[in-house]
Structure 1
Amino acid sequence: MGVAPAPQPVPISSAQRAAVIIALLGEGAAKPIVDKLDDAALAKVAAALENLSMLTRDELIEIVMDFLSRLRKTNGALRGGRTRAKEVLSGVVDSGRLSLIFSDDSPETATDEDDEELSVWERLERREPKQIAAYLSRLSPNLIALILQKLDVSISSEVLGHMEGDKLGPMIGHMVEPRKADPGVDQVLGRMVEMEFLNAVQEEAEEGGENLASVGELLSLISSEKRDSLVAFLRSKHEDKLEGIEKSIFTLEGLPDLLPKNAVPVVFREVDQSFLLKLLGTLQGSNSAVSDYLLGNISSRMADQYRDDLSGMQPLAADEAETVQREFLNTLMGLKRRGLIVLERSAEKDA
């Protein structure tokens, strides 16, 4: 009696392999994946598991190794965004359903969402090459090489142009050596760049901007003589910061460029009328353009009343007039902090 041939293993379908991976991940790890599957996909997973007989340990290992092998063939990252989503879904759904899924697309929405989902390396490419070079100069040659290889060659070459020192030779040496892609290393490297540079630069810029704005406001509230002296000092010692400071300096002469027209009625509503009359009295003569701007953006009846009152006023002494103007600027900043008005030089006028 002959020996019966060993039964041939039944081929395991792709759907069954996916079901096995989900089952092996366990409830905690698999839940985020399952939550994203629709009812039809879940039905396929359930059917795939139902149609599986007992799998041996070797078969389970083969499925897992196949999954890991496919994963390692990727570049270690998955780019998202609506554009990428369309690319992926176009291979698995028909064009009609694809159009229905993305029917709410608009150019602005797509652009905004893609910007929010940029990879670490895409975000890095948007930084100033000189800033990137300064950051990389603190790293070891092998890390510099790994990071530069992640960037577009046009960006990396510009970054390299800002770099000097003994690290450049070893760095090029690392770049010419063949390197096996390692998703784990790439992920850690990206996280390091994000924490040490991308996020740090953003926080520093935000804090620096707030600090410069405070200096600008401070200079706005001192006498013009002292302000001119301090601005001259900043120009000689901190020229790189001066532009940011000057954007926040509010002077009476520059008020038409800083105070929006629709904010003028708010000022006249919130500030005491007798004080405003004093202020307008100090603006006659060389600053008459500021007075015209303020009176030109309130009701004609109210403006005429102020003009009538001004005609009988005696001019204030120079030091008293400057005190009134500084107090008015301080009042404006108080209104700004309360959110009642905006004081900001427009981009068009900066240009």
Structure 2
Amino acid sequence: MTSQTGLNQRQKAAVIVRLLLDDDEVAGLDRLDTATQTLLAQEMAGMELIDRNTRDAVITEFCDRLEAVGVTFPGNLDGTLAMLGARLSDDSTDQLRRTAAINGHSDPWVRLCDLPKESLIALANAESVELVALMLSKLPVEAASATFIALPRERARVVAQAMSMTSGVTPAALRRVGLVLLQAAEALPKPAIPTPACDRMGAILNFATADLRDDVLGALDERDMEFADGVRKAIFIFAHIPARIEPREVPKIVRELDQTTLVRALAAPAEADAAAAEFILSNLSQRMADGLREEREALGKPRAKEVDEAMTEVINAIRRLQESNQLTLKLPQDEE
């Protein structure tokens, strides 16, 4: 449709964008979908000279439309969820994204890449090797590697051979495969308690005394060594800090703690705990570390209960940072 300027709506949009380019103010073009960006670029490529009167008419019409706008909506699910932010529960957000992906309103591979490792492994063992090969080709390398390694040896060989045939797949076919896999993932049984049992037991033992922790692990070794091994990997205590925390993360952890708690934790007398305290101090600024050492000396010998409580609070702070994705624990040494 043309207007009194003789330009259609796409050409008018091209004029506005061209004018904004002169002022380096075209922010947010990357938020347009690929098809819209392509149409805009093609329209601009086919235009040459626009006279001053036409330019002014386009600007006037554009401003009039802006003034007439009462409220705007994103027009897509991702934009809507970004606008609503934390006002929606995680379950509601997840359900909306799943429904949109299954109904073909969003990219199913985004959802598939967010699936937990256990779900990806279940799909890799249940679906045809061709679909699994495509799935591994689309997943992030870390997730694809973890899924592939978990496959039985013979199936892993067949999937590896099938990956040689994935290079010629079309975008449309890849989308259909994604929908099939996503629907299969939705059909997987959902555990009533999503956290693995070994992780839950490990989290509980984090707050147990050392002798109780050793006693429980010894009993688990006798009954179920595999479960006991999983529990050991899930346990994270103060003495594990040097092995599980990146040095650059230490200042972030310290900022989460009050000074008294930190000083008491740094006064832990056990050899492994003292090594963790020194690791913390060595990764702070010299001035801060010296100040904390002076406060520790002035503290004398705190009660064992106070030290234990302080070390527990350090672990709680680390767990809070981990849960909010501000910190990532390194794998235990035997997993690296």
TM-score surpassing 0.5?
Answer: no
Q: Whose Rg is larger?
A: 1
TM-score calculated relative to the size of structure 2: 0.44
Q: Structure with the greater relative contact order (CA < 8 A, sep ≥ 6): 1 or 2? A: 1
TM-score calculated relative to the size of structure 1: 0.42
